[in-house]
Amino acid sequence: MVIKFLRNELSFLLALITLVILHFTGTSDVIKSSLAIESLLFVIVFSVIIFAALGVVHHAELLAYKFGEPYGTMILTLSAVTVEIIMIAAMMSHGDADPEIARDTIYSTLMILLNGLTGLIMLLGGIKYGEQKYNLKSTNSFLSLIIGITGIGLFLPHIIPAQSYALYEKFLVISCLLLYIFFLRMQSKEHNYYFKFEGRKKDIDSRHEHLPPKEKISTVYNFIMLAATIAAISVMAESLSVFVDDGIEKLHMPAGFAGLIIALIIVSPEGLTAVRAGLNDDMQRVVNISLGSMLSTLSLTIPAVLIVSLIINQNIILALSPMQSVMVVTSLVVGILSCKDGETNALSGFIHFMLFITFIFLVFV
């Protein structure tokens, strides 16, 4: 039993070992004075967090298989957005106040999910299968909410008068949460068939061949391990935020690099699952994961960082920069055109992926 636990929960155990090491070494003045050692620790912590994300994926997939869609994807996306909120809060509360870190992380997450992840999957899936089909009603539902919340959360702050901004932030928290709660109700009850698609049944079912029967999957155990792994990632995120801040200062990296690093960690659990689904010709699951994660990032992270900013009395800037605004609008327009007929292809994927390359280029330029 112990050996089986050690084998199945290797990612979680490695995270615990890393936390113990960081507890005794992370605050050492010798380490902080050496860029080489600090860089090595950054690589180690970053790698362990990504590996721990595999544990999140494992337990989320078991729960997804047991409960079916769309509940499984909801579990995965809500798990990931929890990590996102905790990591952004850690960066906000560490060191010098950076009012743009939350905005940059949200922006980077959107670019990675819509252009990097979805674009790559559409490209590879298009090359392998030609056209991949999904339920058009799901993309229409996701994109309408994503565009709406992007407008009120990331564009409207540009023009809200300063004397009304504090009140608008409170309104924004309530609006985002109400929209997401209503969406979850629709997704899980009346319109859950929007988020299902019976495609190549044989190919889709084959991915579950290695899983145990549903009745043997323990809901309590997998939820506990899912929460424990997320907690371990969240604690490691505090140390990672220290290394990122110090590294940006010492290496004179662009400020947006911090948001990119956080976003890569945030997206890793969903990304691994989405790539696997896309290569199995399950584009509906890819849509549910990528667009669902974008929606949860906007509708939950924006209220969360606003609440954190009130608690720690720190100003934050949500309004996108002009360059970010152009990238977001362009990506959403291309996304709408890519999803207009309920099927994807390699050309659409390549366009999205080139937008992702443009995003990376602009982070450093």
Judged by average pLDDT, the poorest of 55-64, 125-134, 281-290 is 55-64
Asked if the model's pLDDT at residue 209 lies above 60, the reply is no
pLDDT tens profile 110-157: 999 999 999 999 999 999 888 889 989 999 999 999 999 999 999 999
Domains of the chain: 2-364 (1.20.1420.30)
DSSP assignment string, 50-104? HHHHHHHHHHHHHHHHHH-TTHHHHHHHHHHHHHHHHHHHHHHHSSS--TTHHHH
- Higher-pLDDT residue of 361, 60: 361
Burial 242-280, CB ≥16 within 10 A → b, else e: bbbbbbbeeeebeebbbbbbbbbbbbbbbbbbbbbbbeb
Helix (H, G, I), strand (E, B) or coil at 321: coil
* Per-residue pLDDT band at 172 (split at 50, 70, 90): very high
Judged by average pLDDT, the poorest of 50-59, 134-143, 294-303 is 50-59
Closest CA to 302 of 108, 172, 143, 184: 172
- Higher-pLDDT residue of 174, 36: 174
* Per-residue pLDDT band at 202 (split at 50, 70, 90): very low
Residue 148 burial class via C-beta count within 10 angstroms: exposed 0-12, middle 13-18, buried 19 and up = middle
To the question of pTM greater than 0.85 for the whole model, the response is: no
pLDDT tens profile 85-117: 777 777 777 656 678 888 998 999 999 999 999
Judged by average pLDDT, the poorest of 43-52, 161-170, 265-274, 305-314 is 265-274
How far is Cα 227 from Cα 96, in angstroms, rounded to an integer?
Answer: 30
pLDDT in the model for residue 63: 81
DSSP assignment string, 244-277? HHHHHHHHT--THHHHHHHHHHHHHHHHHHHHHH
Asked if the model's pLDDT at residue 258 lies above 80, the reply is no
Portion of the chain with pLDDT greater than 90, in percent: 31
- Higher-pLDDT residue of 70, 280: 280
pLDDT tens profile 12-25: 888 888 888 877 77
How far is Cα 7 from Cα 173, in angstroms, rounded to an integer?
Answer: 42
pLDDT in the model for residue 143: 94
pLDDT in the model for residue 243: 73
Which residues have CB under 8 Å from 270's CB, separation 6+?
76, 77, 80, 113, 117, 289, 290, 293
Q: What angle do CA 287, 283, 260 make, to 5 degrees?
A: 50
Judged by average pLDDT, the poorest of 94-103, 262-271, 316-325, 326-335 is 94-103
